[in-house]
Amino acid sequence: MTGRTPDSRRLRDDTRSVSITVNYALNLVVATMLIGGVLTATGGMVQDRRESAVRTELSVVGERVASDLMAADRLAEVGSAGPGTDPTVSISVTLPERVGGTRYDVSIRTSPAVIVLRSDTPEVTVRVGFHHDTPVEETTVRGGNLRIELAGDGDVEVVAA
- For residue 77, what pLDDT is reported? 85
Residue 78 or 120, more confident? 120
Please say whether the beta carbons of 101 and 83 come within 8 A.
no
Q: How confident is the model over 92-115, as a mean pLDDT?
A: 95
Q: How confident is the model over 108-135, as a mean pLDDT?
A: 95
Q: How confident is the model over 81-103, as a mean pLDDT?
A: 82
The yes-or-no verdict on residue 87 having pLDDT over 90 is no
Residue 7 or 134, more confident? 134
Q: Return d(Cα 120, Cα 104) in angstroms, integer.
A: 6
- For residue 11, what pLDDT is reported? 61
The yes-or-no verdict on residue 32 having pLDDT over 60 is yes
Instruction: Lowest mean pLDDT of 51-65, 78-92, 94-108, name the range.
Output: 78-92
Residue 104 or 50, more confident? 104
Q: How confident is the model over 45-62, as a mean pLDDT?
A: 91
- For residue 48, what pLDDT is reported? 83
- For residue 16, what pLDDT is reported? 61
- For residue 22, what pLDDT is reported? 84
- pLDDT band at 83, cuts 50/70/90? low
The yes-or-no verdict on residue 96 having pLDDT over 90 is yes
